Chains A and B, each alone.
Chain A
C-alpha cells in the first residue's frame, strides 16, 4: 500500500512553527487569481505512520549493505559510512552556490582539488564536475567533440562509431548530441577488430567524428589493440571518447590519457564508491585533454556552456573526494588489482559449469552465457537470476551485453571477501544442478520475496503510474 492509500483525513506528520510576523492576506501578496482553488490531495499521516511505512519499504529493498550485489558494469562496491557523514557536515549543507565566493571557500577548494585528482587518475588536462550522471557526462563530452569540430570548421564530422558491446547510453547520448551512430561489430574474441575499425573509419571518411569505447569493455576484456585503435581514429581525423564505466579495473595501472583518449566521463557512483541511491543521484564528471579542455562547461570562451544548474552533484563530489583522499594513489591501484583478482577467481570457479564465451581471463567483470543451459534444461539467465535471489544474492546484470545470448554479467568488485565469493559460486553451481534436476523451482523463483515475478507486459499495456 502506498501512503496515498494509507492516508487518514486529519492526521498530521509535522507541525510547523507559528509565524511570528503580522498576518496579511495571501491574495494581497500573490494575487487572488493566482491562488490554488483546491489543495493537492497529499497523504495525511502521523510521523509514526510515515516512519513505519518507509522503514517497511526499506526492508523490501536489497542494497550493498544487505549483501553481495555483483551487478555487472554498475560497480556496486561498498559505500563508506564516513563519507556520508562528512558530506552532511552543516558547513557543506548550508553553503549556497550563488553566494559570493568568499563565503564558499571550503566548497570551492574541495572542488578544485577533486578536479586535480581526477585529472591525475585519468591522465587528462582538465575536468568539469557539472554532469549529474554517467549518461549526462557522455552527452557533455560528445557536445565538446561537436563544438571542437565546429570551431575548427569541420562541421561535416557527424558520425560516431560505437562497438556493439557498448552500453545503450553511448548511442543514445551520441544521438542527443546531434551525431549519427554507426555500430561496429565486435570480433569473435569480443574485442574491437582493428581491421574492421579501419574499414568503418574509411567508410565514414570526412564525416568521422570519433569512436566511443569502454575499456575494459562490457565483456570484461581489455581492448588490447587500444594503441592501434587510437592511431586509426586519430589518423582518420576523429577523436576518442572513453566511457569510464569500467575504470575500476585499471586505476593506477593505465589511464585513459595514456591509452590515447581525448575525453572521458567517470561515474563517481561506480568507481569512486558514492552510493547509487536506488537510481541516483550520481555524478558524471568529464575530463578532457589539451585539445578538448577549452570546450568543457565553465572552462573558457570556447565552452559549450552549462549542462545543468550550479556546480554539480556537490554532495556526491564530497564523497568521491573523501574516497580518493582515503585510498591515495597506492590504494586506488590496490582497489583495481583486487577487483580484477576477485573477478578472475570467480570466473575460474564458474566457467566449468556455465559457458564463458570469451576465455579464461577477465578484468574486473566477466560475462557468462546460459544459452547452453537453456537449451538443455529450459532454464534461462532470468531463471538463474531469480534463483539467486532466493539464495540471498542480488543477481548479476542479465541480458546485457546483448551480443552474448542469455548473458549474465558478473562484477564482484574489490570490496568482497573470499568467503562471499565462495558462497556465491556455490549458489551458482547449486542452481546449475537444480536446473538439470528440478527446473520448475527455478521457473517459479523467487519465492522468498515480498512479491513474486511481476507482469511487465500488463504494466506496459495499461500503464497505471499514479494513484
Chain B
C-alpha cells in the first residue's frame, strides 16, 4: 500500500498495514478485493492532486472570497444575529460527531436537546406534537401533504399561490409520484390569499404566512374555510415570527411546518438548516421522522429520553412506514434549541419587534424615495416594491426587500438614498 495525504486520517502506517495483511495471510491489499469482477475494475480516479491542509485552506479561502454577502435579500432565509454561544455549543464534538441516538444510555445529550426542540416548537406553534426535525420547510410541507392525503383519502391538494416558489415546486414533485395534484389559490391586490377562492374536497390547504411577499395572510379565515370542507389546514410559518404573531394552533391549523434557519443558523448558501414539523395530537402516530419521548429506567428510578413511536418508521415498517426519513437535521435543530434557550421569550420578542420596526422604517424611506410597496396588507420583515432595485430579490414586477434586526439605520439609509437604480 502506498502512503499519501490520506495519512492524516488513516492512522496505520504503511508498515502497520503490511503487518495486518501478513496476519491475514495476504500479500497485498489487492487480495482483499478478489470478489470484485475484473470487468468492473477502474483505474486510479482522475481527481485533482491531493492537497495539504495549508493548501486546502488557501484554495477554500479563495473560493469563499469570490462570494459577496447581500444585505437585503431574504426569500425564506434571513440574516439574523447568531450569538457566539450558539456557535460554541453547537461545535462541541460530542454533539457534532455522534449519530442518531440509537443507544440512549450514551446519547442523553442529543436526546434531551431534541426533546427541548420538540417542546420549543410546540410552544411556538401552539400545537401538541413536534418531531425531531425535517430537512427543510419545503420537504416538511411535502410530508404534511402526504400525511394529509393518507388521512383524508383525497387526491387534490391546494396551496396558496403566494407560498415560496421552492416550496410549491417541491410539493409538485412529491405530488406527481404519489398520484396527487396540486392547485393554487390566488392572492388578491393586497397580496393576500382570497379564502373565498378555495374549492372543496381537498386533502389539505397549505398556506404560508408571512407569505413569499412578506404579507401576513388571513390565517384564521383560511384555516376555517379548509376545515369546513374537510381539508387538513397546514400552515407554513417562520418560527421567529411566532414570537409576536399568533400561533397556527390558536388560529385553527392542524399542522404547522417551517424553516428553522432564522433561529440561530447562518444563511450558508441555503443549507444545511432544519425544518420543523408540528401537528395536533391525532396525527401523532402518523407523523414522519424521529420523535423523542420521556421515560424511566427499566430497573431504576432515573428519568431519561429515548427515540419513541418507532413503529411508524422505515427501519421497522419498511414499505409501510409513514415516511422514509431517518437522518434529519439534528445539529441544525440544536442551533435553534440553543438559540431559543439563550434568547428566551423576551429576547425573541425583541428580535422580532426590532426586525418589524426596521422593515417599517425602510419601507417608509423607500416610499420617500419614490419606491412604492406593491401591497398594503400587514407584513413582518419583508415587503415587495414596484421597482427593480439592485441588491434586492427580483420579482416578476418589482423587488422583494428583507430587513432584519441586524441592519443598521445607516445601512438602510445608504440603500434607500440610492433611489431607483433604473
Contacts and interface: CB of A to CB of B under 8 A. Distances in A.
A328 B4 contact: yes
A71 B98 CA distance: 11
A203 interface: no
A464 B123 CA distance: 15
A279 B110 contact: yes
A79 B8 CA distance: 11
A30 interface: yes
Interface in B270-321: 270-274, 284, 290-300, 302-306, 308-311, 313-321
A175 B150 CA distance: 13
A21 B343 contact: no
Interface string A264-287: 000001000101111111110000
Given A89-B61, A341-B17, A465-B118, A327 B50 contact: yes
A77 B11 CA distance: 12
Interface stretch (B154-162, B194-202, B226-234, B346-354): B346-354
Contacts of B4: 327-328, 330-331, 334
Interface in B319-334: 319-321, 323-332, 334
B242 interface: yes
24 contacts: A13-B85, A21-B358, A30-B356, A34-B216, A37-B250, A42-B341, A45-B342, A45-B344, A77-B9, A94-B79, A120-B45, A121-B45, A168-B316, A178-B179, A222-B33, A227-B37, A277-B95, A314-B269, A322-B56, A332-B45, A397-B102, A418-B19, A452-B298, A465-B292
Nearest to A139: B324
B395 to A, nearest CB: 11
Given A96-B69, A178-B177, A86 B60 contact: yes
Contact of A35 (B244, B308, B309): B244
Interface stretch (A55-63, A194-202, A367-375): A55-63
Interface string B85-96: 100110111111
A39 interface: yes
B89 A460 contact: no
A353 interface: no
A353 to B, nearest CB: 17
Interface in A119-173: 120-121, 123, 132-136, 138-139, 143, 146, 167-169, 171-173
B361 A22 contact: yes
Contact of A449 (B76, B105, B296, B327): B105
Interface string B23-65: 1100001001101110111101111111101001101111111
Contacts of A327: 4-6, 9, 50
Given A97-B77, A255-B42, A258-B42, A418 B284 contact: no
Contacts of A19: 353-354, 357-358, 405
B359 interface: yes
Given A135-B327, A260-B40, A338-B1, 11 more contacts: A4-B116, A63-B93, A63-B94, A63-B95, A97-B77, A109-B63, A278-B330, A279-B328, A281-B327, A331-B4, A456-B308
A21 B361 contact: yes
B274 A281 contact: yes
Contact of A174 (B172, B291, B319, B332): B319
A325 interface: yes
B interface, size bucket: 35 or more
B292 A454 contact: no
B379 interface: yes
B296 A454 contact: yes
Given A178-B177, A453-B105, A42 B340 contact: yes
A46 B87 CA distance: 16
Nearest to B270: A310
A40 B345 contact: yes
A213 B68 CA distance: 42
A384 B73 CA distance: 54
Contacts of A259: 40
B105 A305 contact: no
Contact of A177 (B20, B92, B177, B361): B177
Interface residues of A, number: 199
Interface string B153-175: 00000000000101101101110
A93 B106 contact: no
A326 B51 contact: yes
A16 B9 contact: no
Nearest to B46: A120
Nearest to B346: A12
B415 interface: no
Given A24-B360, A459-B294, A278 B99 contact: yes
B115 interface: yes
Contact of B272 (A11, A13, A30, A314): A314
A416 interface: yes
Contacts, number: 705
Contacts of A105: 66-67
Contact of B5 (A104, A331, A453): A331
Contacts of B83: 14, 47
Nearest to B68: A103
A415 B10 contact: yes
A458 to B, nearest CB: 5
A153 to B, nearest CB: 16
Contacts of B259: 309
Nearest to B320: A175
A450 B49 contact: no
Nearest to B340: A42
B206 interface: no
A58 B90 CA distance: 9
A279 B296 contact: no
Nearest to A446: B105
Contact of A40 (B123, B169, B284): B123
Contacts of A386: 105
B35 to A, nearest CB: 4
Contacts of A85: 57
A308 interface: yes
Contacts of A351: none
A325 to B, nearest CB: 5
A244 to B, nearest CB: 14
B148 interface: no
Given A133-B135, A414-B10, A42 B44 contact: no
Q: Closest 5 A-B residue pairs measured CB to CB?
A: A310-B270, A91-B64, A277-B331, A94-B69, A281-B272
Given A59-B94, A312-B271, A337-B32, A330 B44 contact: yes
Interface string A5-46: 001000111111101111110101111001111011111110
A390 to B, nearest CB: 9
Contacts of A227: 37, 39-40
